[in-house]
Amino acid sequence: MPKQVDYASRRRQIAEAVCLLVDEHGPEGVTMRDVAARAQVSLGAVQRCFRSKDEMLLFAVGHVGERMRDRLAHREAESANATLSHVATEIALLREEHRAEARIWLAFVAQAAVSEPLAGPLRTSYAALQDLLARLIAKVAESVPVNEGAAPPDPRREARTLLALADGLTSHVLIGHLTAEEAAEVLHAQVVGLRRATGP
């Protein structure tokens, strides 16, 4: 009886191998043969899961974004203000254990600047992260009395600002312009400033 293959699990296994190779060589340096060797499967197994290298890279981009979103999803149940700061730090991938993921993400972003197919999944991931931040900012606004005469902050506009800041800090840390601690201080100051603008 032929062995049953869990293709969803196999595709995730291959995506992890793609990410490791992207970290080492960039997206352009990835080959299906190298992915097969890194994933410890046959080339045929990779080709049964993905018809082309481009399709494989597209899935890997989505896999990285999904992994980040899954990590953040359960934080929404916590205190909104503390969670907002934590989520922003997570998005910036400042922790040492996320440094490889930061390099992989930026490698995909750089490639997506000249590849519309890759840009699509990245836009989807950024949109989901922005929506998460907007929800958390709205919770902060609901929990704090608004200053008299002051307009409440626009959660979507503030979410765009915070997402862009977190995303930019990823590059600053990777190239050594800022330490992870300095970048975290910048994010914390932004969150504190947002809370002060919301109310007393």
Instruction: Read off the pLDDT of residues 7-47 as tens digits, 9 standing for 90 and up.
Output: 899 999 999 999 999 999 999 999 999 999 999 999 999 99
Q: Which amino acid is at 20?
A: L
HEC profile of the chain: CCCCCCHHHHHHHHHHHHHHHHHHHCHHHCCHHHHHHHHCCCHHHHHHHCCCHHHHHHHHHHHHHHHHHHHHHHHHHCCHHHHHHHHHHHHCCCCHHHHHHHHHHHHHHHHHCCCHHHHHHHHHHHHHHHHHHHHHHHHHHHHCCCCCCCCCCCHHHHHHHHHHHHHHHHHHHHCCCCCHHHHHHHHHHHHHHHHHHHCC
The full set of domains in the chain, from first to last, is 60-198 (1.10.357.10)
Please report the pLDDT score of residue 187 as a whole number: 93
Please report the pLDDT score of residue 198 as a whole number: 60
Please report the pLDDT score of residue 1 as a whole number: 42
Region 105-129: mean pLDDT is 93
pLDDT at 74 over 80: no
Region 160-186: mean pLDDT is 96
Map tokens 């312009």 to a residue.
177
pTM of the model: 0.84
Among residues of the chain, what percentage have pLDDT more than 70? 87
Neighbours of 189 (CB within 10 A): 10
pLDDT at 200 over 50: yes
Instruction: Read off the pLDDT of residues 84-97 as tens digits, 9 standing for 90 and up.
Output: 888 999 999 999 99
Q: State the pLDDT confidence band at 186, using cuts at 50, 70 and 90.
A: very high
Least confident range from 1-15, 16-30, 92-106, 175-189: namely 1-15
The whole-angstrom separation of Cα 90 and Cα 153 is: 23
Cα separations in angstroms, 72 against 19, 20, 86, 91: 20, 22, 9, 9
